[in-house]
A = this chain, B = another copy of it.
Amino acid sequence: MSKSKRLMELMMTVNRMRKFTVKELAREFGVSPRTILRDLQELSELGVPLYSEVGPHGGYQVLKERVLPPIAFTEEEAVALFFASHALRHYRYLPFRSESASALSKFYHYMPGDVRDRIDEMKNRVDFRTPARQAEFPFLSELLDAAVRQRVLRIDYASREGESCRDIQPVGIYASHGLWYCPAYCFLRREIRLFRCDRIKGAREADAAMKPVDLNGIHLDNWESLDPAEREWVHLVAELGPEAIPRCEDELGRRMTIHVREDGSGWLNADIPRSELPYFARFFIGLGADASVGSPPELTDLIRRMLRELLERYEGKSN
């Protein structure tokens, strides 16, 4: 095997093993320990963070910031990748903020001048906007870590009703419209609930006594469908004007299908839980004249009531 190939494979191998001795590698690669030593020194010079300890039980170690085998990207791929991480800059909080920034600058730095020029030209001409939020999300890494390792966390949660302390086991975290959410099994309610991460004011490992529940097979793509069946459902029918379609896709897109006609208008036809009627009432009021609810009657009633209340407020004020 040629030296350069051996170096590549060596890099992958040490990344895989994390801890190893010179002899081991020499056997594995069929070369002498002396050669391996020379190779390791070269890897070191190439930036692989190696650390060695002498003595029995000593050996080599790769420090935690492992270096991946270099990947060659085409120019187009690099540009795409650049803008992908560029898009994340709008997030003040990320589970891996600093890494994302350093990857971005590494990219930028290593690129040949003319590609950099091209990126510079495009930088201010493509963007993925995310609403800027004042809310703080200090525990994203902890929540994600707990989700991956299936651990229970004890959190301080500031809900509308006041601050409470509860044990949860996160399913995962996701950002939507610039806010972070965390669906998690709540040991208090004994079901999966959605938490807003900015309301989580504290998070630490729960008591060892708290046994994790089995959330294998439950993840971000399917937890919503695992809703408890206790709910009572009512049937929603609404007619949508063209202006209303995007707003419905925005807020309801993942819960129901939005039917669109040729002329741009559309309609909704779906079952919704009775408990969410207030939410829907307010939502359709917000759509104004672009939407009109046909059913259920409970919803139209509620809309009327809410409209009257609002109207009273605004009439009271002006008089």
Chain A contact residues, CB within 8 Å of chain B: 4, 12, 15-16, 46-47, 65-81, 83-85, 87-88, 94-96, 99-100, 102-103, 106-107, 110-115, 121-122, 124-129, 131-135, 144, 147-148, 160, 170-179, 219-221, 242, 245-246, 249-251, 253-254, 258, 260, 282-283, 285-289, 292-294, 297, 300-301, 303-304, 306-311, 313-315, 317-318
In this complex, what residue of B is CB-closest to A107?
Answer: B71
Known: A81-B100, A172-B127, A310-B285. A135 touches B246 (CB 8 A): yes
* Cβ-defined contact, A314 with B303, below 8 A: yes
* Cβ-defined contact, A16 with B113, below 8 A: yes
Chain B residues, CB < 8 A from A254: 129, 131-132
Chain B residues, CB < 8 A from A176: 129
The residue in A103, A170, A251 that gathers the most chain B C-beta atoms within 10 A of its C-beta is: A103
* Cβ-defined contact, B148 with A125, below 8 A: yes
The residue in A175, A260, A283 that gathers the most chain B C-beta atoms within 10 A of its C-beta is: A175
**Sample of 20 A–B contacts (CB below 8 Å):** A16-B114, A47-B72, A66-B75, A67-B73, A68-B75, A68-B112, A70-B72, A76-B96, A78-B103, A80-B85, A81-B85, A81-B103, A121-B148, A124-B220, A125-B172, A129-B175, A132-B254, A134-B260, A289-B306, A289-B313
* Cβ-defined contact, A128 with B175, below 8 A: yes
Q: How far is the CB of A38 from chain B (nearest CB, A)?
A: 13
In the complex this chain forms, how many copies of it are found? 2
Known: A126-B172, A129-B175, A132-B253. A297 touches B318 (CB 8 A): yes
In this complex, what residue of B is CB-closest to A294?
Answer: B317
A67 to B76, CA, bound (A): 9
A298 to B83, CA, bound (A): 43
In this complex, what residue of B is CB-closest to A218?
Answer: B124
Chain B residues, CB < 8 A from A102: 74, 77
Chain B residues, CB < 8 A from A94: 80
